[in-house]
Copies of this chain bind each other. A is one copy, B any other.
Amino acid sequence: MSETTRTTQTPGAPEAAVAPSPAPSRLAERAAALDDADPLAGLRAAFVLDDTVYLDGNSLGALPAAVPARLADVVAREWGELRIRSWTESGWWTAPERVGDRIAPLVGAGPGRVVVGDSTSVNIFKALVAAVRLADAAEGADGDDGVTESPARDEILVDAATFPTDGYIAASAARLTGRTVRAVAMADLAAEVGPRTAVVLANHVDYRSGELYDLPALTAAAHAAGALIVWDLCHSAGALPVQLDADGADFAVGCGYKYLNGGPGAPAFLYVRGEHQGRFDSPLPGWNSHAEPFAMEAAYTPAEGAARGRVGTPDILSMLALESALEVWDGVDPQQVRAKSLALTDFFLECVSALLPDGAVSCVTPREHARRGSQVALRCEGAREVMAELIRRGVVGDFRQPDVLRFGFTPLYTSFGDALRAATVLAAVIDER
């Protein structure tokens, strides 16, 4: 295996020792020992899993075992029997804030800072437009429409390799607020943010490479330049500890259906920093974000707190599935999740090194722990066909254009045995080609 990324070691980072090509039997012993010593191993039973090696939880998390019964109760009793009464009696109305408060500790947010609802894309739109308005307000030059005519801060700075929806939505937010979008490499963002930057939109973990970026440092760089920052946590929330409050992030959005295991298309979440909440000026002021939604007033008065990020009636079935899924986090230590995630990806890389011929794949994901999310991306020839064959043989990762095999490691339910089996099957598939 060769490396395609920089291998600069972060001084003092606790890297796992990589044994040079141990025999496969040694790897099986190692996997068993690592699984035996895993303090999170018991959590696997909280998920519905079979003998598939499922390494695509970064695209769709596995089904938590508690969800089917909970959702059946939501449908049969709360909807079927209580019907409209459930908006109050079953707590449907307050679910967006309540589920937000369940996610909050996973992203280092205090209570009342996170609201759940809508898709990631829609939440990026809310955050970006609101951030531009805050930037205008800070310039003291906003007119009636909340957007300055010829603003000094005329750009939204985005990660050039961003997940596409972020860039598309940024372009729309820019167009509607009279800004332009400027795309630069994540590595250059800190240097590029400047006096013309209203807002930075950045990904915490790159969806393709799995590279983890320095949230505190880039947040500080944005603030030093007088800009605000919106973080996309889709590939970090639930995979590694995030400290939004402590690190000063202004806004963040994240996904309910990847590492939070909320089910296909589970609603996303929106974080608004405490000091911004009172001035959060949403471009989607639906009736659910009104201070008194049932007063049915013609004039809009925004709610205080997290509810201000709501829009229309929340999708209760999807939202309560997510709420049930989040119960698996009760009592889980995020530091243990991170430690296991790194140990899993270390071990997988070790197995790949040991079992695959040199040069068959190259690793896109940084080796340094401080720069690695919870996935391993391998570049390889014929990646699309290789992944299709892996899936046929019960190892489920995914393919990303143009030539990337992506393996996601969900610490709550992935075992070291899974990592070894994935590498073993990958070696067999490559060997046969």
Check: A269 CB closer than 8 A to any chain B CB: no
Please give the distance in Å from A181's CB to the nearest CB on chain B. 11
Please give the distance in Å from A302's CB to the nearest CB on chain B. 10
Check A285–B71 contact: CB distance below 8 A.
no
- Residues of chain B within 8 A of A213, CB atoms compared: none
Q: Evaluate whether A312 and B121 lie within 8 angstroms (CB atoms) in the complex, with A286-B169, A296-B401 already known.
A: yes
- Residues of chain B within 8 A of A286, CB atoms compared: 119, 121-122, 165, 168-169
Bound-state Cα–Cα, A283 to B59, Å: 26
Check B265–A125 contact: CB distance below 8 A.
no
Check: A329 CB closer than 8 A to any chain B CB: no
- Residues of chain B within 8 A of A265, CB atoms compared: 92, 313-319
In the complex, which residues 266-285 of chain A have their Cβ closer than 8 Å to any Cβ of chain B? 266-268, 282-285
Check A311–B48 contact: CB distance below 8 A.
no
Q: Evaluate whether A298 and B164 lie within 8 angstroms (CB atoms) in the complex, with A264-B92, A318-B318 already known.
A: yes
Contact with B along A51-63 (1 / 0, CB 8 A): 0101010011011
Within 8 Å by CB of A160, from B75, B298, B314, lies B298
Contact with B along A320-354 (1 / 0, CB 8 A): 01000000000000000000000000000000000
Check B264–A312 contact: CB distance below 8 A.
no
Bound-state Cα–Cα, A84 to B78, Å: 29
Within 8 Å by CB of A168, from B54, B290, B295, lies B290
Q: Evaluate whether A285 and B315 lie within 8 angstroms (CB atoms) in the complex, with A48-B80, A68-B76, A83-B54 already known.
A: no
Check: A393 CB closer than 8 A to any chain B CB: no
Check A119–B313 contact: CB distance below 8 A.
yes
Check: A407 CB closer than 8 A to any chain B CB: no
- Residues of chain B within 8 A of A169, CB atoms compared: 284-286
- Residues of chain B within 8 A of A76, CB atoms compared: 48, 63, 68
Bound-state Cα–Cα, A199 to B66, Å: 48
Please give the distance in Å from A51's CB to the nearest CB on chain B. 12
Check B317–A321 contact: CB distance below 8 A.
yes
In the complex, which residues 87-115 of chain A have their Cβ closer than 8 Å to any Cβ of chain B? 87, 92
Contact with B along A108-146 (1 / 0, CB 8 A): 000000000011111001000100000000000000011
Contact with B along A64-82 (1 / 0, CB 8 A): 0001100110011011110
Check A284–B75 contact: CB distance below 8 A.
no
Most B-side CB within 10 Å, residue of A54, A81, A296:
A296
Check: A232 CB closer than 8 A to any chain B CB: no
Residue of B whose beta carbon sits closest to that of A50: B81
Check: A176 CB closer than 8 A to any chain B CB: yes
Check A264–B401 contact: CB distance below 8 A.
no
Check A122–B318 contact: CB distance below 8 A.
no
Most B-side CB within 10 Å, residue of A50, A79, A177:
A79
6 contacts between A and B (CB under 8 A): A72-B72, A92-B264, A160-B298, A172-B282, A208-B296, A264-B315
